Structure 1
Amino acid sequence: MNIIFMGTSLYAKVILEHILKCENINVLALFTQPDKPSGRKQILTPPETKDFLIKNSFNIPIYQPEKLREKENVEIIKSLNADFIVVASYGQILSKDILEIAPCINLHA
């Protein structure tokens, strides 16, 4: 099964980590929030999910749109031809256009 994973936080990272261990699931792409300044020095910091993929050398495309609803992002999602979209602590609302691309599941803590 080919999926798109949408998530940002530590909670999402844990879910992504488990999904990546499944032999029958192929993660086509990660959609996550843009890097944000953090801490006293406001150092630009990647989301937990992006950091995890990079540190573990996964060759999975990472997208960090400011607004997922923009047409170009919807087109990217369509072009991936996913069987399923998994959302966990993403931080943006999926538009009807995205919800109609593939079945979606939104996981909550």
Structure 2
Amino acid sequence: MEVKTEFFNFGLIGKFFSKADLSDSYQVICDRTCRDLDLEDVFRFIDRTRSRPGQQYLYYLMRCIPATTARGANGSHDCGIFSKPLAEKSRFRRADQAA
């Protein structure tokens, strides 16, 4: 997908984040830090969502670090290939690379 060129209404996009219960979060990126880091520009660049609720949830994920590791655990099993021995990795090579 390409970078979106549509108008981004951050008042609407940030509404889910502003209404969410953040009391059990490990860390929340405050508005000042968000402006300092130009997170709205980062959001514009990475947004590939197909719906407004999707945009709102992505924005929430950018601004809130949960206290549990559940969010990070979803993708951590995919990184296991980097810690496996080279012999095991060879089975993942494409057919045209096998010799």
The higher radius of gyration belongs to 2
Q: TM-score, normalised by structure 1?
A: 0.23
Which structure has more strand as a fraction of its residues?
A: 1
Q: TM-score, normalised by structure 2?
A: 0.24
